[in-house]
Amino acid sequence: MLRTVTGPVRAASIDGAVLPHEHLRTDMRWAVGIDSDPHRWLDEEHTVTAELHEARQSDGLNLVVDLTSMGMGRDAATLARVAAASRVPVIAGTGLFAGPFTQIRDADVDTLTGTLMREISDGLDGTGVFPGVIGEVGCWGDTPTPAEERALVAAARASVLTRLPVATYGRDGLGILELLLGNGVPGSRVSVGYAGADVPTARKIAEAGAYVSVTALGAGLEQAVRIALDLVEEGHAERLLLSTGLSRIAQVTKYGGPGYGLLFRELLPRLREAGTGEDVIRLITHDNPLRWLTSGYA
């Protein structure tokens, strides 16, 4: 059973494509220790709703995983409205995002774990919306800071206690994965984001039994295609997750961006042109994300 923002949904009822790494509302304009960025936000509820509805109609989009965790401007009520209006189920995340955006500097692991467990059991932001994934969690710099390490350990503990999957973000994909594995999270329950920047790293993540999460906007279209084809050719298609990775207002179609449909319009056609069969496309866009999301209950 999937925990969506509008209630439980049977995984078997999701027959179409899944976007496993998206953001439907964000606000990360202000941060501590790094430069502020007025473009690092997304608050276009009607536009986002329309784009998801269009992807549902034209591309068979059946599920979106929103990885906007604490510190990123998450709004659970907005997610519920978008899901209801677009008729596309949405899974929300809990978790403590990277250090510049969250107040985790002085909190110990037990305190951080308790924060996550309250959201998982009581709901997000005082709403009746429950998270179905822990993430995104990770690091902002090249490697996790001590505070980010504590937040990652807390995410691991919460996953072990609840069996929820974990989604990560950060340049140190392997290091983050090793930390989670070392704290008891099975690799099959982890989606490692930002891994698409490095083909050898992506292979190692797949070989460790975790999922390599590649977004067209995060890795860049050319690199996303390269990573995807390499993993397929190396026999790791079952460990690949593909998404658009939209997170900023300039990226929606209303303002000239590619929109959430970039995966369907650009990335998947490139894989088909390279000889990837429809059975593998469905494996990547449907079977893999659902297997990851439900791995704790298999």
- 71-118 tens-digit pLDDT: 888 999 999 999 999 999 999 999 998 766 677 878 899 999 999 999
- 124-161 tens-digit pLDDT: 988 999 999 999 999 888 899 999 999 999 999 999 99
E runs forming strands in the chain? 2-4, 7-9, 17-22, 26-27, 41-42, 61-66, 90-91, 93-94, 133-138, 166-169, 190-193, 211-215, 240-243
Q: Where are the domains of the chain?
A: 2-297
Which of these, 145, 153, 169, lies nearest to 69 by C-alpha position? 169
Class of domain 2-297: alpha beta
pTM for the complete prediction? 0.96
Residue 200, phi-psi category: left (phi > 0), alpha (psi -120 to 50), beta (remainder): alpha
Asked if the bond preceding 136 is cis, omega within 30° of 0, the reply is yes
Is 187 in contact with 208 (CB distance < 8 Å)? yes
> In a structure prediction context, what are the per-residue pLDDT tens digits for the chain, which is 298 residues long?
999 999 999 999 999 999 999 999 998 787 766 676 777 889 999 999 999 999 999 999 999 999 999 988 899 999 999 999 999 999 999 999 876 667 787 889 999 999 999 999 999 988 999 999 999 999 888 899 999 999 999 999 999 999 999 999 999 999 999 999 999 999 999 999 976 578 999 999 999 999 999 999 999 999 999 999 999 999 999 999 999 999 999 999 999 999 999 999 999 999 999 999 999 999 999 999 999 999 977 5
